[in-house]
Structure 1
């Protein structure tokens, strides 16, 4: 049975999910209070007390995060449409708000994102979503499976994790030009280092696309690779696609000691099943795999 606190958090989680799903709609205070089934007279203070930011600012950050992802990773989408979906009647108003939030105009951000101010601006949203309402995993959430040998084409990111977005942009551009688009080509991430213990300059991960075609002449830094066959522990993570650290820590700290298993010789890796902004943030699905002996 849920505790009163858990039930309270579940009601607030409904609000966060509703904002994710209906970010393009009119999300006034009365509507969101109704989603939580709280009094509209007290909901604003309840929300601010729990998440550390107002309802209005939270909704703005959700909309701006989605808009920034579409600008950075969906170059074919018109800025006017992105502005309208973010709740602005005119591109000029959107541009002013975007510049105030991230320090760049939307067109500048699309051409060359400055990731450090972007991360700083979205930090309150990250804290609200990932720390206050963090998912709790159980041992039953983990399954063991035989992962098949999977040929991939991969692009390595080395250096500051804050600049991973630049590598993602290059990888997306290659996928489009080479015909390795999802979902026909599965998406994987291989984590070679732990960002908590690795100096930024030594951080490394691989962005991978499943492929049955040989990468004959590697271009744009793309190389052929293989995720080897073997037993894995798999934890399915819904939401939190940009912060898999809690899931990884659960596998290493809790599941692995309790299971009696030993980790294998291949790094932790993830299969990205559904990802933001193609789906709302809370509907993103990631399968985190821990190779075993």
Structure 2
């Protein structure tokens, strides 16, 4: 009974975290958030800290600064002041102080040369509870797909540097345009279970023709065809492993299916510079025999 009660409270804190991510532009106070989670106002701070490892105000600040950091890195035409105001600050100076205190770089420094490894070390502290995971699976057959690809090699904390290079190739060449092409990510395994130097990740965009030689290192590649189980992940890319583990834990043992010796891949339906993190949609393709 106690375990069931604790699980219920965990799911309620998860609902609060989801609500925060969807309402970053609004006032988020203790009274309202405790009502959202149907939790005691007197004990909410302790419950939230126990479930997330972080004080409520700190959690909200980091989510707002996380969104701001993506704005800075990938939306070069947006003014820093406007990004700061969106993050809840009333001046560029206040935004700069908070940003530098958190990431050890000013907003302008981060925009010109982001220190992604340090950024990741800070953002890994944002650990919303996962609660219960319900896996909805679709089975589909895919043909072999031709793609333009750029491979990242090494520390996963530096993935954004390679992502930006791939984005620049798309913008500069006009090939595999985001508006009409599909965007994929293909890891060679779980970065949490391998040495950083062994980690590989391919950024891919669908193409119809071979990729010409270019200074960015983008080449022609393929995604394997065949049978796939597809699950849709909603929200932060940082939490996708939870959806994947839910698939392996809940659906696969009951399905009678076996995994094929090919990597899974992600199909990104939208992007962090287009929508808030809570509104990200990603289809995860898991290869089946």
- Within the candidate set 142, 145, 160, 2:140 is matched to 145
CA distance in 2: counterparts of 1:246 and 1:281, whole angstroms: 16
State the partner residue of 1:65. 66
SS at match of 1:113: coil
Please show how residues 127-166 of structure 1 align to structure 2 within 5 Å. Answer: 127=127, 129=128, 132-138=129-135, 141-166=136-161
> Greater shift after overlay, 148-157 or 97-106?
148-157
State the partner residue of 2:240. 244
TM-score (norm 2): 0.89
What CA deviation, in whole Å up to 9, does each residue of 1:81-111 have, x standing for no partner?
1100111111111111111100011111111
State the partner residue of 1:92. 93
State the partner residue of 1:217. 213
> Greater shift after overlay, 165-174 or 91-100?
165-174
Q: How well do the aligned residues superpose, as a CA RMSD in angstroms? A: 2.2
Q: Is the 8 A contact 1:73 1:172 kept in 2?
A: no
CA distance in 1: counterparts of 2:241 and 2:39, whole angstroms: 32
Q: How many Å apart are 1:122 and its aligned residue?
A: 1.6
SS at match of 1:274: coil
1:235 aligns with 2:236: no
State the partner residue of 1:175. 170
Q: Is the 8 A contact 2:75 2:273 kept in 1?
A: no
CA distance in 2: counterparts of 1:208 and 1:280, whole angstroms: 22
Q: Is the 8 A contact 1:241 1:275 kept in 2?
A: no
State the partner residue of 1:110. 111
TM-score (norm 1): 0.87
CA distance in 1: counterparts of 2:43 and 2:190, whole angstroms: 42
1:274 aligns with 2:270: yes
CA distance in 2: counterparts of 1:120 and 1:79, whole angstroms: 23
Moved over 6 A (4+): none
Q: How many Å apart are 1:63 and its aligned residue?
A: 0.4
What CA deviation, in whole Å up to 9, does each residue of 1:126-183 have, x standing for no partner?
x2x2xx2255244xx2221112332211110001111111111111222222333434
